[in-house]
């Protein structure tokens, strides 16, 4: 991976939602780092057991801006929101190998 990896800490939420069960990160590549010349942003999450993985992927010049801490908190609190980001894409899951 040639890009930049940032850990994300979710906004504060009630402990009853078990925030310690989830890990979040933001990975990005600049157009100069990619063969296609596009921006690449991925907001990732996984459970601590590494059995559930999720990602919000944005490629292109018009990237959707997410507030990472707010997004992470919503993934924890809102099961339906979280489920729409669940992935089985091995290329996204493999991004966690070093983290």
Quote the number of domains for the chain. 1
Which residues span the domain enclosing 71? 4-96
pTM higher than 0.85: yes
- Is the predicted pLDDT of residue 88 greater than 90, yes or no? yes
Question: What pLDDT does 99 receive?
Answer: 82
- Is the predicted pLDDT of residue 50 greater than 90, yes or no? yes
> Tokens 């989830």 appear where?
22
- Is the predicted pLDDT of residue 3 greater than 90, yes or no? no
How many Cβ atoms sit within 10 Å of the Cβ of residue 63?
A: 13
How many Cβ atoms sit within 10 Å of the Cβ of residue 22?
A: 20
Distance CA 54, CA 43 (A): 8
């Amino acid at each position: 991976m040639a890009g930049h990896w940032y850990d994300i800490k979710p906004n504060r939420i009630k402990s009853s939602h078990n925030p310690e069960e989830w890990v979040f990160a933001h990975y990005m590549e600049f157009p100069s780092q990619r063969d296609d010349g596009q921006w690449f942003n991925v907001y990732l999450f996984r459970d601590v057991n590494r059995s559930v993985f999720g990602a919000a992927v944005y490629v292109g010049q018009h990237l959707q801006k997410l507030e990472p801490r707010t997004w992470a908190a919503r993934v924890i609190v809102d099961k339906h929101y979280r489920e729409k980001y669940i992935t089985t894409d091995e290329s996204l899951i493999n991004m966690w190998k070093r983290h």
